[in-house]
Structure 1
Amino acid sequence: MSGSVFECVERPWHDHYGHGTNCELEKFEYNNLAEMVSKNSEKWKNRIAYRMMLPNGMDKSLTFAETDTFSNAFAVYLREELHLKSGDRVAIQLPNCLAYPIVVFGCFKAGVAIVNANPLYTAHEMQHQFLDSGAKALVIIDMFADKLKQVIPNTKIEKVIIVSVADLFAPIKKILVKSVLKYVRKQIPNCEVHAIPFEESLNIGKKVLRENKIDVINYWINVTLDDICALQYTGGTTGVSKGAMLTHKNIIANMYQIIEMGKSKITNGQEVLLTVLPLYHIFAFTVNLITFFKVGGVSVLIPNPRPLLNIKKAFEKANITWISGVNTLFNGLLNEKWFSENPPKHLKASIAGGAALHKAVSERWNKVTNTSVVEGYGLTETSPVVTFNPINGIVKSDTVGVPVPGTDVVLISEEGKVVSVGEVGEIAVKGPQVMVGYWQRPEETSKVLKDGWMLTGDIAVMDSDGYIKIVDRKKDMILVSGFNVYPNEVEDCIAKLHGVGEVAVIGIPNERTSEAVKAFIVKKDSALTEQQVIEHCRKYITSYKVPKHVEFRSELPKSPIGKILRKNLRTEELSKPHNE
């Protein structure tokens, strides 16, 4: 691929951003994320920044000033007590709790890079990520500390900090929450490695900070936009999980891009964002943790959103104005009687990403809440947002919107040529939010980064206005007798059928047609039959796209953010003989 091929990229989407949206990014206000945190902590100091809501309705808040103070203390602990240096890595394995922003911002201020890890990882997955990243310290939730004895000896981790969701609560409430978790629910195992409690690390940091009169700014004053702030690991769906190297520039640029696209509905210092998606996932990390901190918003943290009844108290106690989520979250809420009969009164808009938003879900959401759910598109490697439907412009509900300011997108054919409007091609992205590469994997990096363009592996079409419709993942495409079938299209069709709760579509081996379409469905109506599904599909899609097999299940496999995992279903099916 030659960079010269794209020198004359047309940008029709600039005409559709809406009034007041800048087409390009202006000069950054900050030299790094630590400076962004510090300045906005001062700007919004008396406002609440984070509010954690437990299922029983018990909640605890942090102001911007408190977040700043605690993160300063944690930065001092990392540098003075653990003797970490600029560029070292700290692994973070936490759910949505008050410790998360403190730890992340403390790492930024200490000049070290974070390594986000899923708390539900197996010991094997933990060991791979910790070893690969070279993390020297780990901050982990106490619920999964029993894995550490098996993991820590095989890594470079020198210090473990243990967090409880009850940390920072008042003493009586803290004892109550910890007792319920440990003795009633039996969710807190014994930790068999040496570790320090999170609150103790803060106390040590505060003491050293006070006694030595340390100016924390000296840790990050020389950190530049080009320095790595995070190793954000991919899901590992196509082999070993890889660490995307994201710089301070990547995250800050994406923060500005998100604000530009949504600013017509953002009132600085007044927004309240429901944070159901885990903050360790790049979507919530950039949108909820970083962007809404910049605009002085409140992030309502939900440690465990399952079952969805766990979220009810948040809607009752907080005037939610924004929700970020995936298709399964919006679909799930719509199926909750308590939500559909009493939708949030202050909601302005919702942001969907991470997986395709089904049109049927979008239409129902609009009808129930009288607000729109606006779809965007991105990847771990792009910090993550690449495209977004312009809230202040024209929203095309069946698309993921247009490239965000400062971003170019072209669609590439199998031959590496730019395709024409309306033709299918692989999305290639160029912009300040694109990663610098995969950590210690130059060969993998060279496969996806070509002359500054990121090859995404996602297949799409672009209309004459620059709006993009994702057709599917390259690897998820089903080949039926030489015809391409895209699961998203079939899923969207099936989702419109009354009685369907959730749906996933994959290809399974077939001797006559190479592959056959199979649908997995969770019923909303127990009377739904396989024949009804097939007849419905025949009305709306051509015959080779109609599922040859339909299987009903009580639930579908999902990722931590609620994305349905087709790969799990595919692996299961490939272990069976298919001779039809």
Structure 2
Amino acid sequence: MVYDRKPWVNQYGEAIAKQLPPLRHANLAKFLSDSDTRFATQTAFSTCMPNGMHGSLTYAQIAQHSDAFAVYLRECVGLAPGARVALQSPNCLAYPVAAFGVLKAGCVLVNTNPLYTPTEMEHQLSDSGAEALVIVDMFANKLQGMVSTTRLKKIIVCQVPQFFPAVPRAVIRSVMKIWNRALPAITVDHVRLERALAEGARVKQEKRIEVSTYTQECGHDTLAVLQYTGGTTGVSKGAMLTHGNLLSNVEQALAMGRSHIDIGKEVVLTALPLYHIFAFTFNLLCFYAVGARNVLAPNPRPIGNLQRAFENYPITWVSGVNTLFNALLNEEWFTAFPPKHLKAAVAGGAALQHAVAQRWERVTRTRIAEGYGLTEASPAISFNPLSGNQKPESIGIPVPNTDVRLVDPAGAPVALGKAGELTVRGPQVMAGYWNRPDETARTIRNGWLHTGDIAVMDADGYFRIVDRMKDLVLVSGFNVYPNEVENVIASMDEVLEVGVIGVPDAKSGEAVRAYVVPLAEGLTEEAVRAHCRKHLTEYKVPKAIEIRRELPKTPVGKILRRELRAEYERARDAR
């Protein structure tokens, strides 16, 4: 069988290891401690606000604070090994301190979107059984009435300018409180993070606690993170990522990019939220392993919020999604003065449009390495290699130690060049879904993770995602893949963003409907349709085109087709 021969390994060249050695660390706590010691005096994280105000922590300070937080959780809150601790914070210095503290305590981190509604928060806190919550003060008012309906024992409140020098911290807090009215009153019993750290540090010293003892029993199969996702079946559930899953994926990702990494010298811009698995593994863990300085942007919207970060720091790496790269390319400050230290960019989370990739390379003189993954795989499955051959509109080649097969609905491998569901097997694949054995059995079959994505592999072992199985549009019996239509429309100079869905149609069963955000006034439906007819077979041309000002997106900027479908259905039902 062609997949068993792994043709992609021939594309690794000299830069990528064909087989990775056994993991060097028993757990994530040991992994973190190695970097804490090795890069102790270097700056680990800097939070850069839109106005340029900033605060930083060294690797030694991160170690000190995260150790204190681990002690606080275990000794002061009384959490047992394996207890779940939710972290609900935007990108800021408090995030790595809390996240690393949870892992060093031998507890399980539950990443939680700070923009969640109270209903969404309650579901995740209840489902995970979280006993402690670290939440940013901006959203702590959502907790009213929630403590009694969950297992929460302790609420710890952090701030975006946490660990900033006194003056800029006071200025930022005043602006947030008075001008932006972004600091509501907190009515539930809580403790401030700085107090928790002070208490943990005191207890650590008094009891002479060696924090590493908390994770002596943690191995590769021990649960480390519950990462909630809609997954391949749409129901929000916790993907169980073990220490081994995440350590493996860090090594796999670093193997793909090591040719462009100078140990202890990289500066990575983290605009994507760290509570998202892409940024968590790639930005947070991978770059911590190589002693990088991580520049955290609390909020990349509007995109001008990133200007000071690019201007004030010698950014060498940046990760993002298609909409983020596209937005940067439409900012005059970015295109007139592109980052001169940039080595590479990595795209994931959604398909990278070819027009965006081409323009990025033209403006920055660097490549965007498009990758592919999903929460259930920690997340990286494949990347376009930074050295060697990159193929447009491809998700690249599988990372080392990973098996990939494309299969038909019956589970049989499809022939070379034929479309099939992408399935994956490797050390980065999750242990399963939290308390959902039936969902786990549907998603992981005979050791293979079924992704729900339709892909094609070429003779060189490069994969191309055709689309999500659930997003496929069936027009008069013909398959139409929204990605293909979106790429064609996105190639128009007048188009900023586009989303394509299928809608019911009396004649053809389904029809293609496109939602287009123009760069400026004047773009018409007729112009879009005429452009499509030049590049697409007639049944793929959108039957309906709506010009609008914005599209619904996830917190990382991925366009939400399901929201477009729901919006269409509401409008149809109202007629």
TM-score, structure 2 length as denominator?
0.98
Match of 1:347 in 2: 342
Equivalent residue for 2:312, pick from 291, 304, 317: 317
Structure 2 counterpart SS, 1:374: strand
Match of 1:17 in 2: 12
Structure 1 counterpart SS, 2:512: strand
CA-atom RMSD in angstroms = 1.4
Letter in 2 for 1:528: L
Find the aligned partners of 2:574 and 2:209 in 1 and give their Cα distance.
71
Find the aligned partners of 1:489 and 1:31 in 2 and give their Cα distance.
44
CA deviations on 1:410-444 (whole Å, 9 max, x unpaired) are 00012211011110000000000000100000000
What displacement does 1:150 show? 3.0
Is 1:99–2:98 an aligned residue pair?
A: no
Structure 1 counterpart SS, 2:484: helix
Structure 1 counterpart SS, 2:571: coil
Structure 2 counterpart SS, 1:561: coil
Is the 1:237–1:567 contact (alpha carbons within 8 Å) kept by the matching residues of 2?
no
Ranges in structure 1 where 5+ consecutive residues have no aligned partner: none
Equivalent residue for 1:519, pick from 514, 522, 529: 514
Is the 1:19–1:392 contact (alpha carbons within 8 Å) kept by the matching residues of 2?
no
Is 1:444–2:439 an aligned residue pair?
A: yes
Equivalent residue for 2:563, pick from 549, 556, 568: 568
Match of 2:245 in 1: 250
Find the aligned partners of 1:439 and 1:166 in 2 and give their Cα distance.
33
Letter in 2 for 1:433: Q
Find the aligned partners of 1:249 and 1:523 in 2 and give their Cα distance.
45
Ranges in structure 2 where 5+ consecutive residues have no aligned partner: none
Match of 2:467 in 1: 472
Find the aligned partners of 2:233 and 2:401 in 1 and give their Cα distance.
30
Find the aligned partners of 2:462 and 2:238 in 1 and give their Cα distance.
30
Match of 1:168 in 2: 163
For 1:386-465, list aligned pairs within 5 A. 386-465=381-460
Structure 1 counterpart SS, 2:565: helix
For 1:205-220, list aligned pairs within 5 A. 205-220=200-215
Structure 1 counterpart SS, 2:146: helix
Structure 2 counterpart SS, 1:502: strand
What displacement does 1:309 show? 0.8
Is the 1:264–1:392 contact (alpha carbons within 8 Å) kept by the matching residues of 2?
yes
CA deviations on 1:492-533 (whole Å, 9 max, x unpaired) are 000001200100000111111111101101111311111110
For 1:499-510, list aligned pairs within 5 A. 499-510=494-505
Is the 1:499–1:526 contact (alpha carbons within 8 Å) kept by the matching residues of 2?
no
Cα distance change of structure 1 residues 318 and 104 upon mapping to structure 2, 3 Å threshold:
same
Match of 2:133 in 1: 138
Is 1:85–2:80 an aligned residue pair?
A: yes
Structure 2 counterpart SS, 1:575: helix
Equivalent residue for 2:103, pick from 90, 93, 108: 108
Is 1:367–2:362 an aligned residue pair?
A: yes
Match of 1:486 in 2: 481
Is 1:232–2:227 an aligned residue pair?
A: yes
For 1:174-323, list aligned pairs within 5 A. 174-235=169-230, 238-323=233-318
Letter in 1 for 2:146: V
What displacement does 1:578 show? 8.8
Structure 2 counterpart SS, 1:576: helix
Find the aligned partners of 1:540 and 1:178 in 2 and give their Cα distance.
52
Is the 1:480–1:514 contact (alpha carbons within 8 Å) kept by the matching residues of 2?
yes
Find the aligned partners of 1:207 and 1:183 in 2 and give their Cα distance.
34
CA deviations on 1:67-103 (whole Å, 9 max, x unpaired) are 1111000000000000111110000100000010011
Is 1:42–2:37 an aligned residue pair?
A: yes
Is the 1:511–1:579 contact (alpha carbons within 8 Å) kept by the matching residues of 2?
no
Deviates more, 1:364-373 or 1:234-243: 234-243
Letter in 1 for 2:563: N
Is the 1:18–1:394 contact (alpha carbons within 8 Å) kept by the matching residues of 2?
no
Is the 1:19–1:393 contact (alpha carbons within 8 Å) kept by the matching residues of 2?
no
Deviates more, 1:277-286 or 1:170-179: 170-179
What displacement does 1:292 show? 0.3
Is the 1:71–1:103 contact (alpha carbons within 8 Å) kept by the matching residues of 2?
yes
Find the aligned partners of 1:487 and 1:100 in 2 and give their Cα distance.
36
Find the aligned partners of 1:152 and 1:459 in 2 and give their Cα distance.
42
Match of 1:543 in 2: 538
Q: How many residues align?
A: 575
Find the aligned partners of 2:419 and 2:56 in 1 and give their Cα distance.
48
Structure 2 counterpart SS, 1:49: strand
Find the aligned partners of 2:35 and 2:485 in 1 and give their Cα distance.
45
Letter in 1 for 2:472: M
Is the 2:228–2:238 contact (alpha carbons within 8 Å) kept by the matching residues of 1?
yes
Structure 2 counterpart SS, 1:150: coil
What displacement does 1:152 show? 2.1
Is the 1:477–1:487 contact (alpha carbons within 8 Å) kept by the matching residues of 2?
yes
Is the 1:92–1:114 contact (alpha carbons within 8 Å) kept by the matching residues of 2?
yes
Letter in 2 for 1:409: V
Is 1:383–2:392 an aligned residue pair?
A: no
Overall identity of the aligned pairs, in %: 52
What displacement does 1:391 show? 1.2
Find the aligned partners of 1:321 and 1:260 in 2 and give their Cα distance.
18
CA deviations on 1:120-153 (whole Å, 9 max, x unpaired) are 0000000000000000000001011111013222
Is 1:51–2:51 an aligned residue pair?
A: no
What displacement does 1:236 show? 6.5
Is the 2:232–2:452 contact (alpha carbons within 8 Å) kept by the matching residues of 1?
no
Find the aligned partners of 1:20 and 1:327 in 2 and give their Cα distance.
26
Find the aligned partners of 1:414 and 1:451 in 2 and give their Cα distance.
15
What displacement does 1:577 show? 3.1
Letter in 1 for 2:397: V
Is the 2:231–2:376 contact (alpha carbons within 8 Å) kept by the matching residues of 1?
no
Is the 1:387–1:404 contact (alpha carbons within 8 Å) kept by the matching residues of 2?
yes
Is 1:555–2:550 an aligned residue pair?
A: yes
What displacement does 1:21 show? 1.5
Structure 1 counterpart SS, 2:16: coil
What displacement does 1:396 show? 1.1
What displacement does 1:579 show? 13
Match of 2:152 in 1: 157
Equivalent residue for 1:148, pick from 140, 143, 151: 143
Structure 1 counterpart SS, 2:144: helix
What displacement does 1:183 show? 1.2
Structure 2 counterpart SS, 1:92: strand
Find the aligned partners of 1:366 and 1:38 in 2 and give their Cα distance.
37
Is the 2:349–2:372 contact (alpha carbons within 8 Å) kept by the matching residues of 1?
yes
Letter in 2 for 1:472: D
